[in-house]
Amino acid sequence: MATDGGFGQASRATGQPKATLSRHVRRLGESLGVRLIERGPRALRLTEEGTALHARTGALIAEIEEAGQAIGGGLARPRGRLRVSTTIAFAHAAMGRIAAGFARQYPEIRLEVVAEDRFVDLVAEGFDAVIRIDPRPEHDLVGRCFLRDQMLVVAPASFACPPPNNDGAAGRVSAVVLTGAPDEPVWHAGRDGHALAIRADPALRLSSPLMVRDAVRAGAGAALLPRCMVAEDLAAGRLVEWGAAAGRAVEIWVLHTSRRLVSPKVEAFVRFLCAAFQDGAL
């Protein structure tokens, strides 16, 4: 009913009588102890509880239907709509070519990628998979790490690198940091076998790693960024590397919910993504 707009439309779509569908919805609401629909003079609408239930079960029902179709057809072929959430940084760095290659290999999958720097709820928001950088453990998500990278201290070529510290003192440098970073973070890096400690004096605080990189390119200060984001700038001489940050490896994961049947389209996407980065390069 929620998908088709009413019991009449749902009856035509499913082939079941309106009275049967209405009775099922009423019994479901009674079993949950809530009202799922409101009956107006001309139309039906979902209550707040009904909307929440539909949001959290719609994707699961679609997965079950897809699995049934695959089993009934004797072939689990990847097909259907695939919604993926990713960070803006990864989207700009690689998602365009990944999506194009995936679409060529799996023409029956309609891939939709949403890039935004916020935490998404896969089930409630209808996503099949999410790409996250250094994700925190979550009991309801599983997946694979498909790329590992180094964090580098980088700066404009015009900046002078502080000398190696033998006494443990940290050299101060103007820096661009992410929003939420400490007031004066100390970056520890290794360079030519020497330890380097740098006290970052934040000249700018920006919410996106892409903005941080662009600000460093423009000469605003040094920054801590993953190698994959600055490799071209380092090769072209726009930026210089001061050292690899100690203990600051980056992991990029593709995750999907463990409570949902892993559909062929999700399995295909995970395999494709891991194969695309098997050499460890972005």
Burial class (CB in 10 A: 0-12, 13-18, 19+), 274: middle
Query: Band of the pLDDT at 111, cuts 50, 70, 90?
Result: very high
Express as a percent the part of the chain with pLDDT over 70.
78
Q: Are the CB atoms for 99 and 111 separated by under 8 Å? A: yes
Query: In the structure encoding, which two tokens stand for residue 140, read together?
Result: 């309801």
pLDDT at 74 (0 to 100):
45
pLDDT at 3 (0 to 100):
52
* 7-72 has CATH 3.40.50.720 classification: no
Report the distance separating Cα 214 and Cα 203, nearest Å: 14
* 151-248 has CATH 3.40.190.290 classification: yes
- Assess whether the region 81-147+251-276 and the region 151-248 belong to the same CATH fold: yes
Which is higher by pLDDT, 78 or 75?
Answer: 78
Task: List the chain domain ranges.
Answer: 7-72, 81-147+251-276, 151-248
Report the distance separating Cα 201 and Cα 174, nearest Å: 5
Q: What is the pLDDT of residues 235-247, one digit of tens each?
A: 999 999 998 988 7
Q: Which CATH superfamily groups domain 81-147+251-276?
A: Periplasmic binding protein-like II (3.40.190.10)
Report the distance separating Cα 64 and Cα 70, nearest Å: 10
Which is higher by pLDDT, 169 or 111?
Answer: 111
Q: State residue 52 phi and psi, 5-degree precision.
A: -65, -40
Q: Are the CB atoms for 220 and 176 separated by under 8 Å? A: yes
Query: In the structure encoding, which two tokens stand for residue 228, read together?
Result: 């994959």
Q: How many CA atoms lie within 13 A of 179 on its CB side?
A: 6
Residue with tokens 């072939």: 75
Query: Averaged over 1-9, what is the pLDDT?
Result: 57
Q: State residue 106 phi and psi, 5-degree precision.
A: -130, 75
Instruction: State the CB neighbour count (10 A cutoff) for residue 215.
Output: 18
Average pLDDT along the chain: 82
pLDDT of 120 over the 50 cut: yes
Q: What is the pLDDT of residues 195-247, one digit of tens each?
A: 788 889 999 999 888 899 999 999 999 999 998 889 889 999 999 999 898 87
Query: In the structure encoding, which two tokens stand for residue 53, read together?
Result: 């239930």
pTM, two decimal places: 0.64
Query: Band of the pLDDT at 11, cuts 50, 70, 90?
Result: low
Q: What is the pLDDT of residues 140-188, one digit of tens each?
A: 789 999 998 889 999 999 888 876 655 555 678 899 999 888 888 888 8
Q: What is the pLDDT of residues 27-65, one digit of tens each?
A: 777 777 777 677 665 567 777 777 777 777 666 666 666
First-to-last alpha carbon distance for the chain, in angstroms, is: 45
Query: In the structure encoding, which two tokens stand for residue 34, read together?
Result: 């809530």
pLDDT at 180 (0 to 100):
84
Which has the closest alpha carbon to 94: 256, 232, 188?
A: 232
